[in-house]
Amino acid sequence: HIRAVLFDLDGVVVRTDRFHELGWVRLAEAHGWDFSAELGHRLRGISRLESLDIILGENGLAGVSDADRTAWAEEKNAYYREAVQGIDETDVLPGVLSFIRELRERDIKVALCSASKNAPEVLQLLKITDLFDEVVCGLDITRSKPDPQVFEMAAERLGVPNFHCLVFEDAPSGVEAARRAGMKCVGVGTAEGLPEAPVVIPNYANIDIEALLDSARPFRP
């Protein structure tokens, strides 16, 4: 059974995933690089610098200087931060806050697990930091998804063994990270976009919490 639920942030709790993508699109446009929707989906959950390196690789620019990489990563972050300043409750995914409250009423531990260094500020802007027992973000980790570090750190801080944890993820890299952590996982999105997720929900409507906590399907070993 499930004793802790770990939520990704961007695209799972708040619709900031589109602002990350917008940041990359603006960066690519400013420098004349190719950027596709497929690439945008692949970059979900991946750290800022690793995302940039993937974009550079796709554009035959793998050998650029570290100074350029740092400047471009900062440029993308400026676009993201510009877009995110205006977020409010309407950017929170419908039903997710009441779902989290219901979990807590059942004594389930809840953690936020994001690769983003901006995660604490996004939570603050929306005044939802206190909803989580633990927040693990890009400032805490050294390895980004698909590495399981962010989820393992949350489980450890909560004092819950990995196999009692359930992860909510919208990113292929995050689904893979949950699998590597030995945690159960629910994809948020479409089965087509998350082919490796054992269970996918389109939104938080009609979730049978009891069934979810009892029988969330584990990954096959």
- Chain contacts with ligand BG6 (rule: CB under 6 A): 9-10, 17, 20, 43-48, 51, 77, 114-118, 138, 171
Pairwise CA distance, residues 221 & 10, whole Å: 28
The reply, when asked if residue 184 is annotated as ligand binding, is no
- Least Å from the CB of residue 201 to ligand BG6: 18
Asked whether the beta carbons of 136 and 177 are under 8 A apart, the reply is: no
* Closest residue by beta carbon to Mg ion: 11
Pick the closest to residue 37 from 144, 202, 173, 193 (CA basis).
Answer: 193
Q: Tell whether 173 is in a known binding site.
A: no
CB 189 → ligand BG6: shortest distance, Å? 12
- The phi, psi pair for 30, rounded to 5°, reads -65, -25
Question: Distance (Å, rounded) from C-alpha 199 to C-alpha 221?
Answer: 16
Q: Which of 5, 6, 11, 168 binds Mg ion (CB under 5 A)?
A: 11
Binds Mg ion (CB under 5 A): choice among 10, 134, 147, 176: 10
Q: How far is CA 30 from the centre of its chain?
A: 26
* Least distance (Å) between residue 70 CB and ligand BG6: 13
Catalytic residue among 10, 17, 53, 68: 10
26 is in an annotated binding site: no
Phi-psi group of 23: left, alpha or beta (phi > 0 → left; psi -120 to 50 → alpha; rest → beta)? alpha
- Report if residue 21 touches Mg ion, rule: CB under 5 A: no
d(CA 132, CA 107): 12
Taking CB within 5 to 8 Å according to partner kind, which of Mg ion, ligand BG6, none is near residue 48? ligand BG6
| 36 annotated as ligand-binding | no
Confirm whether residue 51 is marked as ligand binding: yes
**CA-wise closest residue to 73 among 46, 53, 44, 45:** 53
Residue 171 touching Mg ion (CB under 5 A): yes
Min dist. Cβ of residue 17 to Mg ion (A): 6
* Dist. CA 1–CA 154, nearest whole Å: 18
Residue 8 as a binder of Mg ion (CB under 5 A): the answer is yes
Contact 136, 150 (CB under 8 A): yes
Is there a catalytic annotation at residue 107?
A: no
| Active-site residue flag, 10 | yes
Catalytic residue set: 8, 10
Chain positions contacting Mg ion, by CB under 5 A: 8, 10-11, 170-171
**Binding site residues for Mg(2+), as ranges?**
8, 10, 169-170
